[in-house]
Structure 1
Amino acid sequence: MRICIAGAGAIGCTLAARLAASGQPVNVLARGATLKQLQHHGVQLTDLDGQHQVAVNASHSAQALGPQDLILVCTKAPALQAIFEQIQPMIHADTVVIPVVNGLPWWYFRGIDSRFANDRIDAIDPDGELNRLVPEQHLIGCVVFITATRKAPGIVAASNPHLMIMGEITHQLTDRLEQVRRVIEQAGIEARASDTIRDQIWTKVIANLTSNPLSVVSGATLEQLYSDPHLQPLVRRMLDETLLAAASHGARIRFDPATIMAMGTSMGSVKTSMLQDFEAGAPLELATIGHAVVELAEKNGIAMPTTRHVLALAEFLSRTASQTNPNPIQNTAQ
């Protein structure tokens, strides 16, 4: 299988290192200092299995890398259109594209029957460009649970077990899904195939939305957000609003609210990826993690007043910071 990692941040380098260490040839689309590091020294990953120093075929040119069978797009949501435009020379008729991105996906209403069939999510893809660039037949959905930090270009550390949940956007269990799952599993990453990928996406969205924007506003860690007496009531109101929005679109969440709160507390004094992005001056994934959820809630007449207020505060802080520091440093977030 010809595999390309498009985006060589913390998650992209983690996947590239694990795949290459398993003997799978790996192409990486990268640029700048990261490209030079990968070309001369490969990827260096330190995780629970030890240290991996592996060679990859890195280039800034999708044309040079050529057609790929599997493209794992590992970027932040605001950069999706740019990277989708860049990978066009790598897509052939049977290419599978897996966006490894936080939040609700732009394709949410595609591939299944619903009264919102083929609707766009304006917060993410207002003009339909994402769907045009990567049509639905190429897509497999994904939820990734990999906590990784970029120490330097091409050098990454991960302190937790790796898990990827993947599923066809049609909710079918297909041969190509199983083929991709096996490749990921052989790389030492727990890989699960799901016939309800939207439920899995909502589960992570709930965790992200109840923690990430408020962490930007408060500067709090995950443990503080879910347990501090000043913040916990606010988080719980956002949780209730998001669970209702998810249920209105038929999502089945495995965990009850108390369990979700306890799981958040158990994460300890960890900064959310959005707080790390904010501190680095990078764009925030508020559209996919927050505004898209509010948009879907509106479709079913559900108000999310607390969530809206927190998102507005996070937007204000992000905009003010970008005006103060127009040249953000390289992101080192999850």
Structure 2
Amino acid sequence: MTPTLRIAIVGAGAIGCTLAARLVGSGQPVKLLARGDTLATLKRDGIRLSDLQGEHHVRVTASDNAHELGEQDLIFICTKAPALPAVLAQIPPMVGPHTVVVPVVNGVPWWYFHGEGGRFAGQPIKALDVDGQLARALDLSHVIGCVVFITAQCPQPCVVESRNPHLMIVGEPDNSLSPRLEQLRDVIERAGIEARSTDRIRDSLWTKIIANLTSNPLSVVTGATLEQLYGLPELRELVSSTLHETLLTAAAHGARVSIDPHTFLELGAGMGAVRTSMLQDFDKGRPLELAAIGDAVLELAEHMAVPMPVTRNIIALARFRGAHPTPQGA
């Protein structure tokens, strides 16, 4: 029997609320660190999740004060990458000697070169951590890597809709199969989410990075859904170019990514009329996760002298689009 743990989730967006609802439904109490209108909604209405397993309405303890939430056994960080500096500065009161911190964040993680060894051991990802703030904010011995395959949307705060299966892959940065890793996998699995532990977490990271990089920036440029990006011939060609450039970069860094391009494109088109998370952020005028999803991959490619001309141009266009949104009614 899985013991009851002190679990906190930082960030009450689509992924954070999905994870909270599933965990509470499994009998694990959850605390959320949130703020503003989202915090008020959590306290008043709780979380409503509609997914393939039904309708879920749960109540959680929520606060904007990490001291109030207290020390935790397990912390899931479910925020966008641009929010990480502020988030990591907030959570120290929640981190004890044995606390496990699981960043559930898109793109290349800031801890990528931690624990793996090799000639880049300990180096920061400069696109994510220019001044070393992230590296200083949290002792990386607390971190377990995570790759999340959950597509979800929030039509309104703390109300989540998800129409695809949930999957989370977890792994130690040093590739060990530790007892705490197995406990984490068990907690997630008991919450009704398919969970896998791995001794090669970077392989899974690259699979998700490829999914994000082939879809998110181009969706901002075009406004296209996953079905259109991976299905329409004129967009599919651009997606294929980004796919192959990113596969070369992953291989150069020693990752084993088992992707059949044709099957990958078919699966992407089969996701339906889903708007990527970056396109949703663009629609709402929020910062785009281009540093983690795009710039960091270009940085890793430069380490290995792998050219990524198509990907680089799409990222540049997405950055321009994000900085110059089309006026309403134009």
TM-score of the superposed pair, with normalisation by structure 2: 0.95
What displacement does 1:4 show? 0.2
Given candidates 129, 132, 135, the residue that maps to 1:131 is 135
1:59 aligned partner, one-letter code: S
Q: Could you report, residue by residue, the CA deviation over 1:150-190 in whole angstroms, capped at 9, with x for unpaired residues? A: 12222212111111110001101100011111111111111
- The 5-angstrom pairing of residues 66-215 of structure 1 reads 66-215=70-219
What displacement does 1:36 show? 1.6
* 4+ long deviations beyond 4 Å: none
2:258 aligned partner, one-letter code: R
Q: Which residue of 1 aligns with 2:9?
A: 5
CA distance in 1 between partners of 2:75 and 2:264 (Å): 32
What displacement does 1:228 show? 1.6
TM-score of the superposed pair, with normalisation by structure 1: 0.94
Given candidates 46, 54, 59, the residue that maps to 1:55 is 59
Q: Which residue of 2 aligns with 1:270?
A: 274
1:29 equivalent to 2:33? Answer yes
What displacement does 1:232 show? 1.8
Contact 2:288 2:322 in 1 (8 A): yes
Q: Which residue of 2 aligns with 1:329?
A: none
Q: Which residue of 1 aligns with 2:23?
A: 19
- The 5-angstrom pairing of residues 306-321 of structure 1 reads 306-321=310-325
CA distance in 1 between partners of 2:212 and 2:194 (Å): 21
2:13 aligned partner, one-letter code: G
Contact 2:215 2:229 in 1 (8 A): yes
What displacement does 1:69 show? 0.8
CA distance in 1 between partners of 2:242 and 2:18 (Å): 32
CA distance in 1 between partners of 2:75 and 2:300 (Å): 28
Given candidates 42, 47, 59, the residue that maps to 2:46 is 42
Contact 2:220 2:278 in 1 (8 A): yes
SS in 2 for 1:211: helix
RMSD between aligned residues: 1.4
Q: Which residue of 2 aligns with 1:224?
A: 228
What displacement does 1:111 show? 0.5
Q: Could you report, residue by residue, the CA deviation over 1:264-318 in whole angstroms, capped at 9, with x for unpaired residues? A: 2222222211111111111111111111111001011111111111111101111
1:240 equivalent to 2:239? Answer no
Given candidates 295, 312, 320, the residue that maps to 2:299 is 295
SS in 2 for 1:101: coil
SS in 1 for 2:110: coil
Q: Which residue of 2 aligns with 1:260?
A: 264
CA distance in 1 between partners of 2:120 and 2:94 (Å): 31
2:9 aligned partner, one-letter code: I
- Please, which runs of 5 or more residues in structure 2 have no aligned partner? none
2:198 aligned partner, one-letter code: S
SS in 2 for 1:143: strand
CA distance in 2 between partners of 1:232 and 1:36 (Å): 42
Contact 2:124 2:135 in 1 (8 A): no
SS in 2 for 1:321: coil
What displacement does 1:45 show? 1.2
Please say which of residues 291-300 and 124-133 is displaced more in the overlay.
124-133
What displacement does 1:212 show? 0.9
What displacement does 1:39 show? 1.6
SS in 2 for 1:124: coil
SS in 2 for 1:104: coil
SS in 2 for 1:252: coil
CA distance in 2 between partners of 1:145 and 1:83 (Å): 22
